[in-house]
Structure 1
Amino acid sequence: MSATRPDTQTTPVDTATMRDIVNRLLDPDAVPEALPPTGDELRTLTETVRGHLALLAPEVETAAWKLKSDSVHRYTVLGCVWEARSRLEAQPSPRFGGAPGYARRLARALNALCDHYEMLNGTMR
């Protein structure tokens, strides 16, 4: 097993589907006149992103620990995993945009984990 490209295939991961969900939450940021999801759709998307984070974080973490111990990339990836897990433990707050803001923060964390997962597996899009 290579120290630069560890095997993370312990669980099937569909990053394309994960990115589709991320885009549904983040694309309104790119198009000011687009309205972000609300109500039931927002709750469903938020729970879906939470599930994806719970699936992907251990995969990425396992791969990161297989990198060389003095690798900056290893600690960058582990920091991203920590950030994703801290987002999962957080709750929506009116101070930070309420439920839509929380969903976008989760989506950004998932997007970053997808980037790391794809890089570690040599499948960057």
Structure 2
Amino acid sequence: MLKSIHHAAIICSNYEKSKHFYTRILGLEVLAENYRKDRDSFKLDLQLPQGGKIELFSFLNAPERPSYPEALGLRHLAFTVESVESVRDYLLSHHIAVETIRIDEFTNRKFTFFHDPDGLPLELYEQENNSII
């Protein structure tokens, strides 16, 4: 039945700022960029390293998130990383605020949160160690 998440769609308030964040800061590859004249809207398709995608949309006058972060719907978007510390340090070097690293009480893996230019909560989550001892 379901095999994986194909994509997550994000609506941004400032297309160029968000495009820079997701491509230049987070390093996602651009698959396609389209301007939809009838909507005066851009759609940017971005590739994640293991096949997932992010669709970045610009819409004029999109309403803000009703409350933070406990609004109904998607709570946050989480990315697997090898080292939470190294990615945190990288983000900090680009002047992106990152929360304190915490330990997941159920998995004992490190995680932390940061935000995209519109305040969407993004999570860094420590990769599962697949090595056999």
Q: TM-score, normalised by structure 2?
A: 0.26
The structure that is strand-richer by fraction is 2
Q: Higher relative CO (CA 8 A, sep ≥ 6), structure 1 or 2?
A: 1
Q: TM-score if structure 1 supplies the norm length?
A: 0.27
Q: Between Structure 1 and Structure 2, which shows a larger proportion of helix residues?
A: 1
